[in-house]
């Protein structure tokens, strides 16, 4: 049997839960937006996905560059936790959305959280003994 470090196992399980959770949300995303937000159309959903992907891609590189300036993994860990908290908050904020612009702002918050997560998770995971 392969012996896996407890921290590595925790990282793998947390990644599994995070991606599974958002994976369950994404397929019903368009239906939710169309039902919850007044005047929302499929174009609204498309713009929201575009805003998320552009914001995440734009924010992730500066975050990685900033975190690389410091030695050690403590800053990476705090950025990872901060990103996961933002992802959690953005999921719960979706419940209270009633306007399109609020929805777009939540997508930017979600993108920032995922950018923190995506920039730090592989660094911490690969340096775990």
pLDDT digits (tens, 9 = 90+) for 10-68: 878 888 888 888 888 777 877 888 888 888 888 988 999 999 999 999 999 999 999 88
Sign of CA pseudo-dihedral 15, 21, 24, 26: negative
Find the mean pLDDT for residues 89-117: 91
| Collapsed DSSP state (helix, strand, coil) of residue 57 | helix
pLDDT tens by residue, 62-86: 999 998 888 877 888 889 889 989 9
Q: Residue 123 corresponds to which tokens in the numbers above? A: 């660094």
């Amino acid at each position: 049997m392969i012996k896996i470090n407890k921290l590595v196992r925790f990282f793998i399980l947390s990644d599994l839960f995070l991606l599974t959770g958002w994976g369950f949300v994404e397929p019903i995303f368009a239906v939710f937006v169309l039902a919850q937000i007044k005047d929302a159309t499929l174009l609204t959903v498309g713009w929201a996905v575009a805003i998320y992907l552009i914001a995440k891609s734009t924010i992730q590189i500066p975050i990685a560059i900033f975190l690389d300036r410091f030695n050690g993994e403590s800053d990476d860990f705090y950025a990872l936790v901060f990103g996961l908290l933002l992802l959690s908050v953005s999921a719960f904020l979706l419940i209270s959305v009633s306007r399109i612009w609020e929805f777009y702002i939540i997508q930017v918050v979600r993108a920032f959280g995922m950018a923190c997560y995506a920039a730090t998770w592989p660094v911490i995971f690969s340096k775990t003994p």
